[in-house]
Amino acid sequence: MAVPASAADGDRPKAPPVIPPVAGESAPAAATTDNVDPLRFGAKKPDEAYGAFQRGLYKTALNLALPRAQEGDKAAQTLVAEILSRGLGIKRDETAAAKWYEMAAEQGVPEAQFQYALMLLDGRFVKKDKKAAFALMEASAEAGNALAQFNYAQLLMQRDPGPRGAELALPYYQKAAEADLPDAQYAMSQILANGVGGKKPDDVEARKWLVRAAKQNFDTAQLDLGTWLISGRGGERDQKSGFAWLKRAAEGGNVAAQNRVAKLYMQGIGTEPDSIFAAAWYILARRAGLFDPIMDDFMNGLTTEEIKTALGRANRLR
């Protein structure tokens, strides 16, 4: 990612090292895609194909959309591409999906422009073309696609890693963040924390973006927010809440957060001191490749019985 996490280096791993009616078909108990907005595919109003898609009847949706797609219906082309690219109800076929995304993108569907741009950048299912991808990503971003706005900002930063690139990327990061994209919200927190893109450092505003991203389970934001709350950066110090956010990130599998939680249990910050929990969380972090000299010294001071108990607890924490 163009905007790096701000966690302390000591918490980073030391191990070797942006952004488809078929006979017998029935709706699943719980559709994998809920509340799909037909406007996402360029449609003006709901129809049978989108209704089937929303209910998880992907083969039905494909059969209904395909004839329209072949006649040039841009919304149907995008829907067919989505079903094929994700392998919904049928075998995945990204090469065929790319052709439909390309046709819909040529007709100006922002979602298709975004997806086809990703394929052009990837180069596995179509010939890699960074210039065309850049243009399509920009078009989709300008049309209001939040994911495209974030990825376009990333592309701008990659093209020009200096201050000028950050300045050009900032409006797109901000639009995506305001559209509630957690990746962009975290990016905004880093921009404001570090004074990038012509912005003056503003820890108060940065912390607000961290909160928004953390609430959406963006684990790196949870890691940073917990750290900020404990130290009082960007606002009032709240060690108990800081511990809670770090523990949430740790429980989600964030290795740096697991090590940080281990230290908090060891020191009794934001929680009651607990050497067994401290050891258990560090064991998890160490299994993932993170080694911390401070925690290693702590572990060396534990008894054989304490280590045994901590190992059992670590196994239950997984």
pLDDT < 70 regions, the chain:
1-46
| Domains contained in the chain, CATH given | 31-143 (1.25.40.10)
Residues 183, 2: Cα–Cα separation, whole Å: 11
DSSP of the chain, one letter per residue?
Answer: --S-----GGGS--S-------TT----SS-SS-S--GGGGT-SS--HHHHHHHTT-HHHHHHHHHHHHHTT-HHHHHHHHHHHHHTSSS---HHHHHHHHHHHHHTT-HHHHHHHHHHHHH-SSS---HHHHHHHHHHHHHTT-HHHHHHHHHHHHHH--SHHHHHHHHHHHHHHHHTT-HHHHHHHHHHHHHT-TTPPP-HHHHHHHHHHHHTTT-HHHHHHHHHHHHHTTTS---HHHHHHHHHHHHHTT-HHHHHHHHHHHHHTSSS---HHHHHHHHHHHHHTT---HHHHHHHHTS-HHHHHHHHHHHHHH-
pLDDT of res. 45: 59
Report the C-alpha gap between 38 and 74 in whole angstroms. 12
Distance CA 242, CA 220 (A): 13
Backbone angles phi, psi at 231, to 5 degrees: -90, -15
- Residue 185 CA to residue 208 CA, distance in Å, equals 9
| pLDDT the model gives residue 20 | 33
Task: Measure the CA–CA gap between 187 and 27, rounded to whole angstroms.
Answer: 39
Residue 194's pLDDT is: 96
- Cβ within 8 Å of residue 171, ≥6 positions away: none
Among 143, 156, 165, 195, residue whose Cα is nearest residue 39: 143
Q: Give the pTM.
A: 0.82
Residue 255 and residue 240 in contact, taking contact as beta carbons nearer than 8 Å: no
* 11-35 exposure pattern, b = at least 16 Cβ within 10 A, e = fewer: bbbeeeeebbeeeeeeeeeebeeee
Per residue in 137-190, pLDDT (tens digit) is 999 999 999 999 999 999 999 999 999 999 999 999 999 999 999 999 999 999
Give the separation between CA 223 and CA 283, rounded to whole angstroms: 18
CA nearest 94: which of 72, 124, 68, 53?
124
**On the CB side of 161, how many CA atoms lie within 13 Å of its CA?**
6
Whether residue 2 contacts residue 158, with contact meaning beta carbons closer than 8 Å, is answered with yes
